[in-house]
Amino acid sequence: MWENIKHKIRRYALETSAAIIVAFAIMAPVIVGAAGMALDFSHAYLVQQRLAQAIDAAALAAAASSSDPAVITQKVQDFFDANYPPEELGATFEPVVVVDGDEISVTGRAVYNTFFLGVIGIDTVEVQAYTVVQRQVQGLEVVMVLDNTGSMAWNGNINALKAATESFINILFDRTSNPNYIKIGMVPYSNTVRVGRYGLGLNPDGTDYDGDAFVNLPPDMVYTTDRTSDDWYGCVIEHNDNGYTPAATYVPNSRGQLWEDAGGNPDGHGWDPRDGDNDPYDYDVLDEYEGPWDVYSYGRVISNGQECDDYGGYSNSRCNACDGAGGNCTTDYCFCWRRDRSGGTNKYCPRATLLPLISDRDALIDHLDTMNTSGNTLGNIGMTWGGRLLSPEAPFEEGSAWGNEFWRKVVVMMTDGDNTLSGTYSSYWDRRKNNMTVTQLNQRFEETCEALKEKGVIIYTVTFTSNINDTTKGYYERCATSPDQHYDAPTQEELISVFETISRELSNLHIRY
């Protein structure tokens, strides 16, 4: 009986083994094909991932190299040749590069030769990757035109501006691999702009500046760092070319305000005390004028027979040609300058000088400490000097050439108020000797903005606090390169946030898709 049972078991095993072998023979291609398919598609996925990484890296490398489409295309191909050799898994086709302005799109394809899928007739798998990058600008030149007027003293707003500007500077320098690719300049403005020793061809410390002198400093005045002094603290008036004579004779002791031509006419340097309608246009907007400029000296011009002490804040002892006894002006025109306790000749001249484009983070931040508040808002003059700092031409020549493909030029223009004219003196000389209006200031501001944008300058504008009227906001909105590059910041916190936003936007080089 036992032998019979063993015999049946042996027969069953032989019969079922045959069935399993048959079943395996039938299923083997399916099992092997499934395993092979999984392996092939896994390898194809790896090829696609490597291709995508190569596309991104090639596009970024090429974007930083040039703005020439042919050069960019070749750079992408060179990158592939070096980093995606034929012996690597997955042979690539020639990448397709499209350059549209600052945008560069790269499409790449690769073919993976299968190991197992050929069993079912699939010999190759094609994968694709695509990316768009914003062309990297190797250099960034930014001029910050900053309101230093008296209203900025309210509630410590000037300190918020300093904090916002410091954050702006730090973000840009923190995000660059080479600080030499970042150049920042500053134009603190109020009634005028303080060019300081740069106007004499010197650095602030008195060493030689790499640029020519561009200010007419009279022989009886010297440069001073004492803003209460009667000497020149560093501010200038705008050049008036009407009747200007380079060889004009200086009227002694007139604090740089009176010049006579060869015929003895008092308009030797353009500003004519006989004229109540003096206007320096269009030399007060962005132009090709390289200097010289005359010195700013707060005061008033009087006529023969008038006395300085007839006017508040003036005395006959501070007159270039008044009779000591009667105090009368003894020439056709005299200049009366302010006494120290009334603000002096440098009244409303900003404490901080402008700062040409530099790549020194620490020097930029240190410069913020010199900003203080005084004077009225002449934002158009600040903007004009911002353009002069960006320009590659004199008086400041640190800027790259207009249209240089490797450098992007930017102005960040900030104000906390509407343009206002000084009651006595400003960049437009003696207030009683011109008929300038706020509307003209606004129009010239807009004209300067348009001229800069035509040269390719990107303009951001910031209106700070809620005390700015809608007309002014309209000018600042139109001044900006696009509507979303104008920011309204009613609070100190928003001012700091806006400056950080602009700085991050300028520093971004990003893959968009």
HEC letters along 285-322 = CCCCCCCCEEECCCEEEEECCCEHHHCCCCCCCCECCE
Same domain, residue pair 81 and 114: yes
Position 289 in a domain = no
Asked whether the CA dihedral 244, 245, 251, 257 is positive or negative, the reply is positive
Same domain, residue pair 359 and 414: yes
CB 322 within 8 A of CB 329: yes
Same domain, residue pair 205 and 268: no
Q: What length is written for the chain?
A: 513
Of 291, 229, 221, which Cα lies nearest the Cα of 256?
Answer: 221
Q: Which of 115, 134, 153 is the last residue of a domain?
A: 134
Position 479 in a domain = yes
**H or E element in which residue 25 lies:** helix 2-63
Q: Residue 400 CB: number of other CB atoms within 10 A?
A: 18
Same domain, residue pair 421 and 320: no
Could you tell me the two tokens for 331?
Answer: 């020439």
Same domain, residue pair 70 and 197: no
pLDDT at site 48 = 72
Position 47 in a domain = yes
Structural domain of residue 249, as residue ranges? 241-277+299-342
Q: Which of 327, 342, 357 is the last residue of a domain?
A: 342
CB 29 within 8 A of CB 478: no
State the total domains in the chain: 3
Output b/e per residue, 401-430; b: 16+ Cβ within 10 A: ebebeebbbbbbbbbbbbbbbbebbbbbbb
Prior bond of 267 cis (ω within 30°): no
Same domain, residue pair 55 and 118: yes
CB 55 within 8 A of CB 45: no
Same domain, residue pair 95 and 82: yes
pLDDT at site 9 = 47
Same domain, residue pair 209 and 254: no
CATH number of the domain within which 429 lies? 3.40.50.410
pLDDT at site 466 = 85
Could you tell me the two tokens for 219?
Answer: 């022989």
CB 409 within 8 A of CB 137: no
Position 361 in a domain = yes
Same domain, residue pair 328 and 372: no
Q: Which of 134, 161, 183 is the last residue of a domain?
A: 134
pLDDT at site 175 = 85
Position 353 in a domain = yes
Q: pLDDT truncated to tens, each residue of the chain (513 aa)?
A: 556 554 554 554 445 455 445 444 455 455 555 555 667 566 666 767 777 777 777 776 666 555 678 878 887 888 777 766 655 555 656 788 888 876 888 887 877 677 666 667 777 777 778 888 765 556 899 999 999 999 999 999 999 999 999 999 999 999 887 899 999 999 999 999 999 999 999 999 999 999 999 999 999 999 999 999 999 999 999 999 999 999 999 999 999 999 999 999 999 999 999 999 999 999 999 878 999 999 999 999 999 999 999 998 899 999 999 997 789 999 999 999 988 777 899 999 999 999 999 999 999 999 999 999 999 999 999 999 999 999 999 999 999 999 887 899 999 999 999 999 877 899 999 999 999 999 999 999 999 999 999 999 999 999 999 889 999 999 999 999 999 999 999 999 999 999 999 998 898 643 444
Position 429 in a domain = yes
Position 334 in a domain = yes
Same domain, residue pair 68 and 88: yes
What is the C-alpha to C-alpha distance for residues 81 and 75, in angstroms, rounded to an integer?
10
Position 292 in a domain = no
Same domain, residue pair 16 and 122: yes
Same domain, residue pair 371 and 501: yes
CB 292 within 8 A of CB 215: yes
- Going by the DSSP 8-state scheme, the letter that residue 126 receives in this structure is E
